[in-house]
């Protein structure tokens, strides 16, 4: 069914506050989730609410975190997040990075000991909306076989980038370092749809189209995705003395305990390198030039990165956001959660 973005946000806020999150924190989480659904990234939208509500209610998300901001140099800092809701911590960390980059040109801010933060393009868009370049990377559950391996080690370890053009132009790139994010599997499960056989393997290591049979994900482009997920694990985990590799906590194990995850934001102020106005002009030119490229057979147009999601967001503002009926029924129910996600398996049903 289709509902407005405002209605979806309010339903999520209601559910998360019922689970015990403060209204301010619930509002931030709801904004990030509705942003994802509005852009068609349903893997990181309302499908996550029931899991979040269970973790909040069991104490695995700190309802009253004590944030500590530690500036470690003129262009570096760590936000100690005390296992707060990931969206709240990541947004706060990006706000700090923007302020630092405004003054010093560059900012590198690590967010330490946080929960799952959802669609991380939301946070780099914060930087772009302020006129800066944003880059963010974060850890994820171990559920990916390394290239050539038969056992999981790294997570989907996403990265996101955004840069501002003129006026409201923003070019955005957001990807998991796997062929597809785990949330895409969750979305396929909620819609009772098969997945391509290139996304994941079953318990025997064979490719599967059944989202319920997934036992490991595959790195994007083989060794290239594998290398990227290693780099992100170093930057968002090892760099901040956090659990890394197989030590990273599973999303579905012990929901009464904090995730202890890390995320790293890098913000660059173009004014310190050339001219902000010239930079933004050239970004917009890039976007227009990409759109003007002759499309290959089978394609109607070349889109710049993130443009298809921008189109989705504009359409959802007019037509509403498509929400799976089961998810809507949960959101309007009185239950904090209908079933437990605490399965001790990264591939929770």
Q: Which pLDDT value is given to residue 303?
A: 98
The pLDDT of residue 60 is above 60: yes
C-alpha separations of 340 from 11, 143, 187 in Å: 20, 20, 17
How would you class 144 by CB atoms within 10 Å of its CB: exposed for 0-12, middle for 13-18, buried for 19 or more? buried
Query: Domain spanning 2-274+311-332: which CATH class is it, in words?
Result: alpha beta
Which of these is catalytic: 25, 116, 265, 282?
A: 116
Domain ranges for the chain, please list them: 2-274+311-332
Residue 175: Cβ within 10 Å count: 18
Q: Which pLDDT value is given to residue 347?
A: 72
* Gap between the Cα atoms of 60 and 68, Å rounded: 19
**What is the reported pTM?**
0.94
Handedness of CA 115, 119, 122, 127 (dihedral sign): positive
Q: What are phi and psi of 316, to 5 degrees?
A: -65, -30
* Gap between the Cα atoms of 79 and 265, Å rounded: 11
Mean pLDDT of the chain: 96
Tell me the mean pLDDT in the region 251-272. 97
Active site residue 116: yes
Q: Which pLDDT value is given to residue 203?
A: 85
Tell me the mean pLDDT in the region 148-164. 94
Higher pLDDT, 205 or 93: 93
* Gap between the Cα atoms of 25 and 89, Å rounded: 10
| pLDDT tens-digit map of 74-102 | 999 999 999 999 999 999 999 999 999 99
Provide Rg for the chain, Cα atoms.
Answer: 20
């Amino acid at each position: 069914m289709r509902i407005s973005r405002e209605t979806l946000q309010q339903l999520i806020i209601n559910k998360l506050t019922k689970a015990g999150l403060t209204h301010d924190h619930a509002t931030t989480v709801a904004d990030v989730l509705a942003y994802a659904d509005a852009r068609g990234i349903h893997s990181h939208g309302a499908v996550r609410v029931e899991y979040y509500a269970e973790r909040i209610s069991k104490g695995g998300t700190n309802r009253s975190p004590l944030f500590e901001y530690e500036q470690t140099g003129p262009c570096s800092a760590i936000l100690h997040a005390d296992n707060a809701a990931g969206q709240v911590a990541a947004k706060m960390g990006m706000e700090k990075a923007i302020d630092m980059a405004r003054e010093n040109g560059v900012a590198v801010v690590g967010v330490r000991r946080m929960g799952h933060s959802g669609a991380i393009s939301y946070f780099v868009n914060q930087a772009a909306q302020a006129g800066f370049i944003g880059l963010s990377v974060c850890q994820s559950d171990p559920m990916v076989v390394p290239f050539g391996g038969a056992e999981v080690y790294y997570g989907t370890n996403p990265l996101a980038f955004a840069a501002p053009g003129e006026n409201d132009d923003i070019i955005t790139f957001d990807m998991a370092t796997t062929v597809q994010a785990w949330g895409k599997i969750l979305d396929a499960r909620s819609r009772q749809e098969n997945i391509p056989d290139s996304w994941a393997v079953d318990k025997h290591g064979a490719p599967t189209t059944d989202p319920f049979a997934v036992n490991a994900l595959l790195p994007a482009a083989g060794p290239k995705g594998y290398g990227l997920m290693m780099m992100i694990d170093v930057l968002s985990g090892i760099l901040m003395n956090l659990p890394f590799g197989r030590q990273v906590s599973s999303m579905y194990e012990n929901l009464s305990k904090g995730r202890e995850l890390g995320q790293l934001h890098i913000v660059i102020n173009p004014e310190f390198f050339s001219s902000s106005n010239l930079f933004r002009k050239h970004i917009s030119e890039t976007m227009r030039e990409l759109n003007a490229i002759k499309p290959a057979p089978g394609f109607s147009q070349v889109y710049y990165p993130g443009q298809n999601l921008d189109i989705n967001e504009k359409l959802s503002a007019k037509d509403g956001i498509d929400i799976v009926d089961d998810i809507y029924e949960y959101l309007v129910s009185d239950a904090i959660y209908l079933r437990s996600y605490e399965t001790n398996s990264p591939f929770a049903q």
